[in-house]
Amino acid sequence: MQLIFGATADGRTYPDHAGAKHGALDRALVGPASLVEALEAQFGLLGPVAPKAVRIAAYLAKLRAAGDGKFWSLSFSKDAWSTAVLLLGWRDALVAGGWSGAPAGATRPDDLAAVERAGAPLPPGLADRLTAVLAAIGNRPGLRLERLTLIEPRVRLAPPWRRLVDALEAAGVPIEEWPATPSAAPGSDLARVQATLGGAAAEPLLGDGSFTLVEADTALMAAEAVADWLAAGPKEELAGTVVLAPDGDTALLDRALAARRLPALGLSSPSAWRGALQVLPLAFAVAWRPFDPKTLLNLLMLPRPPIGGFAAGRLARALVAEPGLGGRAWTQAWEDISAYLLARETDADAAEADRKIARQMARWRDWTAGGEFDRVQGMSAADARQIAGRVAAWAMAADAGNGDRLFLAVAAAAAGFVRAVDTLRQDLLPALLIERILGDVLAEGVANPEHVAEAGGLRAVHAPGALWAPAQRLVWWNFVGPGEKVAPIPWSRSELAAWAKAGVELETAPNAARRIGAGYTDALMRVTERVLLVRPALSGADETVAHPLAHQLHPLTESADERVRWRAESLLSEARGQVARRVLTRQPVDLIDAPLGRPSWGVPAAALVRLEGRRESATALGRLLNCQLSWFAQDVLRLRLGRFAEIPGADQLFGNLAHEIANRLLPPGPPPPLTDVRMRAAALFDDLLPRMAAPLQQPELAGELAAARERVPAALEALVRMLHERGLEVVGAELDREGTSDGLALQGRLDLLVRRGSTSAIVDLKWTRSVRRYRDEIAEGRAVQLAVYGAIANPHGPAMATGGYFLLRQRRLFAGRGTLLADEDIETVRDQADTLRDVIDDWRTWRGLLDQGVVVAAGVDGADALRPAGLAFETSKDPCKFCDLTGLCRVRVEAV
């Protein structure tokens, strides 16, 4: 066997293998992990590799077994898992440096040595496996390594791998070095760059296209420029072109390549945030108390939720309507799901069908059971295993044997979590500890399964050292800093001396920096024809910094002209540009102006069919009076702004709670006694809170919740007192009403309908911070809601019911002077009957315009001149302020 070893050769490399163009038998290109694995196979040392989380859990147990009084004890008492993560990293670095676990004669090193002796053995990591291989090299037969070729010089290797190379050489394995030497054509700019990086004096660049720094304002423009450059060359040259993407992600560049019918590079950064991976942390987050409906909503809204699509959607809508568990909306959602399953059941045996549905419903309810465990006290290890097991079973069932990397990663993460919990041997697991474990079992993440490389010759690598043989052309994508970071040294000088005395060799920060910098240089040294260094000025919204290699090249590039420092944005203004020996051409295209806002729009006759049998609500009429186009689009055509399901805010939840308490507190008949109404309201508040307003129980809303516990019962008490003082009787609460007034069909839901004798009144409850708005509505005769509700309150009665607003937060009642509910002296411009009459007249006017096939967009310039004459209600000063469809009428678009 012959091996080629590179410090960064465990991922993608160029070339792919050690056999030139056609491969080779018994030859391989290896990085640190694969070199250790190959030697383990030869010595018979192969064994199962423990996941990172399992090793952390085992080390945590050893730290606990080592006892108190250690240098980490205080941190361990606060966050044991994070402490174990940090110390395990230190420990593995020491083992890789040659530490045997013996005391070194200093306090902190000796504390770590005590951990090595405490508790159960630690599952081996890469450093332990390296140590075992080093011990076996000189003691076991079977080594059949004929030659080891080093991509980097031996002197530059980190100490652990230099020790391994030395041991192999001592065992008789020939060692060769494959140095990176300048390979560009003499006299070219690239040759001058390589000479400068090799230590020669800097010579001015000529701009011959062999070395180019591509600068762009954004990564998007940089991707367009690189894709144009690749498309401008012969397809045969793709085979010798390598794209270096240090961040490991070429998604943006691949989209630009696809637009030019070039092969995708297929590099994708592993991410722990891919949809299916979120099922595991969300399954635990749902279980904590206080229950947070947002976490359950996130679980239900995943692209592949762990319960059926219909059930997930129905439950999500229930959560948005009443964020909590066990409320009316939640119960109704489960009833709808049961009916849906029953309708789809084809089993002839009704009893068997019922059993199947019951089993399915029970499985789904397990996913939605929230708020079962206290975050501080934690959950038992058995409960944690059950949740993780449920996730693993779902992932395997969803994969169904297809080998989907994402689902298999979910199952592996859940299994790793269970192994870590078993290794901890801890009965109760607090929320913080579980979240720490989940973070580590998901830390590696998964690359995008849909993002794969395509055949076509173009290649991509993610590390400079992965370019280990000569390449004709190199495109260094995202050539920005800070580059690879040097790991900090946690030891003092005296401790480092103690470690050195104990035979532990640790890499110093200067040596690590030189090793990393030499890797950058090697990548340029191995290019024979052309190099493009592509630097966007912005990464997202953040300004980028210069790459460390750019500082070395600064003497060469500082005074270079546009042939060396080329601006990608020049493609937007020049029809023809030359960069890196290729001509990029752009063809002019016809520009089409975006449609501008129009004050009036035509309506086809077919759309008017939707008006047949229509009933108007107070909200819809308010929209019509403000903007006819908004009413037609949102209320007639039912257009809605696309958005994610969202839990309502705190004020809306408090309002919903107050409405429901009033509904339950005020049955038809005389108002309840004042003596215990506040106590009953407070009890209903606590009962309904987790069912329909659970987000209010979150710690960040503790202040508002405490205030609302006082305000809501006090507001309901004030409402009942008002009913008593005016001698009013409750007709009903939350009443759905329909009716017709002078040809206008109306509908609405009344918060509270009361009466005194034969006279009725509507009390509309508002939980609001604005007092002036509702007072002004009544004073100015713009209370459309009260007018509509008054018209339909008594559908079979001749008289209109008077109305008023009761502001719950302020405990104030607003109604017109002289009405049944009048509490303050509010003089009105027009009374409720006049308001309704003007609403109907304006509705007829707008309908007449619509029957002519025209609607008017109120917010667009020129709309005032198109408004029909004689309207009673004026458009608001900012008619588009609360509209969701301004992109439809183009009111915000300006002419170029």
Q: Which residue has the higher pLDDT, 640 or 296?
A: 296
Q: Does the pLDDT of residue 593 top 90, yes or no?
A: no
Q: Are 61 and 425 in contact (CB under 8 A)?
A: yes
Which pLDDT score is estimated for 812? 93
Mean of all residue pLDDT scores within the chain: 91
Q: Kindly give the residue spans of alpha helices, DSSP state H, lying in 543-676.
A: 548-557, 618-626, 628-631, 650-665
Q: For 730, which DSSP code?
A: E
175 φ, ψ (degrees, to nearest 5): -115, 130
Q: Print burial letters for 859-886: b (CB count within 10 Å at least 16), e (below 16).
A: bbeebeebbeeeebbebbeebbeebebb
How many residues are there in the chain?
896
Query: Residue 373 forms beta bridges with which residues?
Result: 288
Tokens at residue 441, please? 């079992």
First-to-last alpha carbon distance for the chain, in angstroms, is 69
Q: Is 209 exposed, middle or buried, given 0-12, 13-18 or 19+ CB atoms closer than 10 A?
A: buried
* Residue 888 CA, distance from chain mean position: 28
The Cα 385–Cα 371 span in angstroms is 17
Residue with tokens 């009084």: 69
The Cα 714–Cα 677 span in angstroms is 9
Give per-residue pLDDT as tens, 215-264. 999 999 999 999 999 999 999 999 999 999 998 899 999 999 999 999 99
Output the DSSP codes for 152-186: S-GGGS-HHHHHHHHHHHHTT--EEE------SPT
Q: Is 103 exposed, middle or buried, given 0-12, 13-18 or 19+ CB atoms closer than 10 A?
A: middle
Q: Are 462 and 11 in contact (CB under 8 A)?
A: yes
Tokens at residue 237, please? 């040259």
Query: Residue 807 forms beta bridges with which residues?
Result: 766, 812
379 φ, ψ (degrees, to nearest 5): -120, 160
If you average pLDDT over residues 730-753, what whole number do you get?
94
The Cα 367–Cα 56 span in angstroms is 28
Which pLDDT score is estimated for 85? 96
Binned at pLDDT 50, 70 and 90, residue 642 comes out as low
Binned at pLDDT 50, 70 and 90, residue 21 comes out as low
Binned at pLDDT 50, 70 and 90, residue 27 comes out as confident
If you average pLDDT over residues 704-719, what whole number do you get?
93
Give per-residue pLDDT as tens, 270-294. 888 888 899 999 999 999 999 999 9
Q: Which residue has the higher pLDDT, 893 or 201?
A: 201
Q: Are 182 and 195 in contact (CB under 8 A)?
A: yes
Q: Specify the pairing of strand 27-30 against strand 2-5.
A: parallel
Which pLDDT score is estimated for 885? 82
Binned at pLDDT 50, 70 and 90, residue 818 comes out as confident
Residue with tokens 């009916």: 339
Give per-residue pLDDT as tens, 784-800. 999 999 999 987 776 78
If you average pLDDT over residues 90-110, what whole number do you get?
95
Q: Does the pLDDT of residue 397 top 80, yes or no?
A: yes
Which pLDDT score is estimated for 894? 59
Closest CA to 633 of 666, 670, 603, 595: 603
Phi-psi region of 105 (alpha: psi -120 to 50; beta: other; left: phi over 0): left
Max Cα–Cα distance, the chain, nearest Å? 110
Q: Which residue has the higher pLDDT, 149 or 140?
A: 149
Which pLDDT score is estimated for 896? 46
List of residues 6+ apart from 417 with CB closer than 8 A: 53, 280, 384, 388, 437, 438, 441
Binned at pLDDT 50, 70 and 90, residue 168 comes out as very high
List of residues 6+ apart from 114 with CB closer than 8 A: 66, 67, 70
Closest CA to 319 of 280, 291, 283, 357: 291
Closest CA to 301 of 321, 262, 275: 275
Q: For 369, which DSSP code?
A: -
Tokens at residue 688, please? 């309904």
CB atoms closer than 10 angstroms to residue 573: 9
CA dihedral angle for residue 276, residue 282, residue 286, residue 288, rounded to 10 degrees: 150
Query: Residue 584 forms beta bridges with which residues?
Result: 577
Give per-residue pLDDT as tens, 530-575. 999 999 999 888 899 999 999 999 999 988 999 999 999 999 888 8
If you average pLDDT over residues 60-68, what whole number do you get?
95
Which pLDDT score is estimated for 141? 72
Phi-psi region of 808 (alpha: psi -120 to 50; beta: other; left: phi over 0): alpha
Q: Are 827 and 779 in contact (CB under 8 A)?
A: yes
If you average pLDDT over residues 821-841, what whole number do you get?
90
The Cα 615–Cα 738 span in angstroms is 8
List of residues 6+ apart from 779 with CB closer than 8 A: 826, 827, 828, 829
The Cα 739–Cα 747 span in angstroms is 6
Question: Rg of the Cα trace of the chain?
Answer: 37
Q: Does the pLDDT of residue 583 top 80, yes or no?
A: yes
Binned at pLDDT 50, 70 and 90, residue 22 comes out as low
The Cα 850–Cα 733 span in angstroms is 36
261 φ, ψ (degrees, to nearest 5): 60, 40
Q: Are 796 and 837 in contact (CB under 8 A)?
A: no
- Residue 303 preceded by cis peptide, ω within 30: no
Which pLDDT score is estimated for 23? 56
Of the candidate ranges 391-400, 658-667, 876-885, the one whose mean pLDDT is the lowest = 876-885
The Cα 863–Cα 598 span in angstroms is 8
The Cα 472–Cα 485 span in angstroms is 29
**DSSP helix/strand/coil, 565:** strand
Tokens at residue 198, please? 């090799």
Tokens at residue 361, please? 């419903």
Q: Does the pLDDT of residue 826 top 90, yes or no?
A: no
Q: Are 71 and 130 in contact (CB under 8 A)?
A: no
If you average pLDDT over residues 376-388, what whole number do you get?
95
Closest CA to 393 of 503, 283, 476, 264: 283
Q: Which residue has the higher pLDDT, 446 or 474?
A: 474
370 φ, ψ (degrees, to nearest 5): -115, 165
Alpha-carbon distances, residue 70 vs 73, 104, 106 (angstroms):
5, 15, 12
The Cα 761–Cα 789 span in angstroms is 9
Amino acid at 174: P
Q: Are 217 and 569 in contact (CB under 8 A)?
A: yes
Share of residues in the chain with pLDDT > 90 (%): 74
